[in-house]
Structure 1
């Protein structure tokens, strides 16, 4: 199935590394004009050194007003991928207010903020656009030490459904994907590269392994494309069957 985004302009957040970088590169390969956004300038510069035609923007999306100003200045987009996220893993009884606020500011509030700006311009330009939010299997199943992260991704799923309902009449589709563990730097920071912890999680996945970045990327590319023109409001597990058991 050939998918082309030639002539399309797409914003990808958290694009400096990991899943976001993979998404940005694959969309670029499919002909899209990419704006890669990340908090870390050095990651973006590394990306641009390999793909000079990708535009880069650094901003801390936890800063509501600064992010509004920056995203407003970027102009109109045909599609958006809300990938940027943080994971602070603490036992439930030790979860702090600061960890909660930091997590929700990035994983939920920033998605609302950025999506509002991008979607308004889609509506103004009568663009039948597409938005994909990167959620997690943690929104659907309890994971030890993931209380705040799981809650943020559950909120993201709910936000996705309401966005799909309200933006649908404007021809804008909104979906999310819910991957299992993908061994990016963020996943490693969450301890998933620990052999014992990894073994326990893999034992609950029917396919018996963690996911690859490319497997998330392929699903996102499909959901952004016209090949999924009747799909909106879904939460797509990319989990090797974890949620089926």
Structure 2
């Protein structure tokens, strides 16, 4: 630990598993106090033991009132990491209206809620870093069977750039992190739910020219850069960490 985030307060959504959990731990290890949010509080029960500066809370990020209340309780948030999300598998013909709406609500409108809750305080203090998790899947490059998901993640990139431009002279920075295929509990669940898990796993691995899946720790390292002061001249950008998938 080098204290890169010493004295900062972070709010991390989707912290119950995968990238969000790894980011909460990375931020804490670098000196931040972290509010770790997930719909399932039990998934985060061990986080305070691993890093005492982490405070887990139960939160449904699609609940606007709940988001406002949680961020008010967190007080002065210096770093917002939006990771909560939903992956729908299938083409546009496989996506029902409910699937389409759920993808947008969980992946985009949730970020609308959190940004609106933290931004006034950041603007008042003239500092802050907002990091939104996008994806390379369909939002940057074509990926089969990700129509609703790709639509929502493309919207995340658009929202990131729009807010970044609006606040560009305020001291608040807004960036997106676009992971490639990353080994996580969510990915493993989707693999196991297919008819041939081993074939599915190979297809995920083969997406990356590097020949392997990304790790949540690698995504957390990129998030740490965007959260810290060393990225002070970086805003409105999309950091792609994908093993060469989009080359």
Q: Hey, what does 2:82 align to over in structure 1?
A: 82
**TM-score of the pair, normalised by structure 1:** 0.93
Matched-pair contact (CA < 8 Å) for 1:34–1:54: yes
Q: Hey, what does 1:41 align to over in structure 2?
A: 41
RMSD (Å), alpha carbons: 1.8
Q: Hey, what does 1:131 align to over in structure 2?
A: 130
Q: Hey, what does 2:246 align to over in structure 1?
A: 243
Within 5 Å, give how 1:138-149 maps onto structure 2. 138=137, 139-149=139-149
Deviates more, 1:234-243 or 1:88-97: 88-97
**Unpaired runs of 5+ in structure 1?**
none
Distance 1:161 1:120 in 2: 18
Q: CA offset at residue 81 of structure 1?
A: 0.5
Distance 1:232 1:114 in 2: 18
The secondary structure found in structure 2 opposite 1:120 is: helix
Matched-pair contact (CA < 8 Å) for 2:19–2:216: yes
Q: How many residues align?
A: 243
- The alpha-carbon distance between structure 1 residues 152 and 16, as it changes in their structure 2 partners (threshold 3 A), is same
The secondary structure found in structure 2 opposite 1:94 is: coil
Within 5 Å, give how 1:30-179 maps onto structure 2. 30-126=30-126, 128-138=127-137, 139-179=139-179
Distance 1:5 1:214 in 2: 17
- The alpha-carbon distance between structure 1 residues 120 and 7, as it changes in their structure 2 partners (threshold 3 A), is same
Name segments (4+ residues, structure 1) moved above 4 Å.
Answer: none
2:236 is the alignment partner of 1:233: yes
Matched-pair contact (CA < 8 Å) for 1:38–1:60: yes
**TM-score of the pair, normalised by structure 2:** 0.92
The secondary structure found in structure 2 opposite 1:93 is: coil
